[in-house]
A and B are shown apart, each in its own frame.
Chain A
Amino acid sequence: MSLRSPLSKVLGRGSAGDGVGHWWVQRVTAVALLPLTLWFVISLLGQSLQSYDGMRGWLGQSWVAVLTVLLVLTLSWHARLGVQVVIEDYVHGKGAKTTLLLLSTFVHVGAAVAAIFAILRIALS
């Protein structure tokens, strides 16, 4: 027995009212994040975090800046998709759900833009 209506089955949509695009992008960003985060954590932990000049010098290197921009873009996108699913599953009021989804999108886009601005400011200074 299925709890889903025939129309719902045909459309292939879940509680988000959306198709498989979300699911797929979540996986693509997850796969991209495996090497990116692994590289970033290992590289960051090799630095002397208390040294302002040292950290600026490290993040100012071209390839470190490029990889960190990629990391920030991919991570914020992946996080935005994941938080979206959690909100869609556990927040049931239409108004509250829409408000939180909007807020989450604004925060993630804002964080990504701020991080990229910071990296470029360091790398291009």
Chain B
Amino acid sequence: MNQRPLSPHLGVYKFMYTMSLSILHRITGCAAAIGFLAFVWWLMALASGPESYAAAMHVLSSPLAKLLLVGFTFSFVYHFCNGIRHLVWDTGRGLERAQARRSGAMVIVASVLLTAAVIWFGCHAMGYSLTGAG
């Protein structure tokens, strides 16, 4: 059998922060895929009738579900932003080390801001008050 090493050989490189962005792209992609399954479950509840939809919305209002939703939101937003970075790379642009570091920083800032924005508008759409004690 062919025993040649196949990529990725994660242990052979000096650590750089752009590497963690790269692995984070995969992690957030997998998390977003799980979030997609949760979305399908919610869609099925909506299609099944008012009782099942109310039950699903009740499940989604639990603290654990809210934490997961924040995680799914960040995962999706990061994967979206970093995905654009990857698509730009696919055209052969922005591959210099300084450019890749700069675009990586831009992705992190954009992801945090957009995640906060989605959570803000998401809370409004869910009917949660962000300013009062309710």
Residues of A within 8 A of B (CB): 3-5, 14-15, 27, 30-31, 34, 37, 41, 44-50, 52, 55-56, 59, 72, 75-76, 79, 82-83, 85-86, 89, 107-108, 111, 114-115, 117-119, 121-122
Contact = CB atoms under 8 A, between A and B. Distances in A.
A120 B8 CA distance: 42
Nearest to A51: B127
Tell me if A's interface is mostly helix, strand, loop or mixed. helix
A100 B82 CA distance: 26
Given A3-B4, A27-B87, A115-B44, 5 more contacts: A4-B4, A5-B2, A82-B33, A114-B43, A114-B44
B30 to A, nearest CB: 6
B57 interface: yes
Contact of B125 (A3, A49, A75, A117): A49
Interface of B: 2, 4-8, 26, 29-30, 32-33, 36-37, 39-40, 43-44, 46-47, 50, 53-54, 57, 76, 80, 83-84, 86-87, 90, 118, 121-122, 124-127
Q: Is the interface of B mostly helix, strand, loop or mixed?
A: helix
A76 B44 contact: no
B127 A14 contact: no
Contacts of B90: 27
A122 B26 CA distance: 33
A15 B6 contact: yes
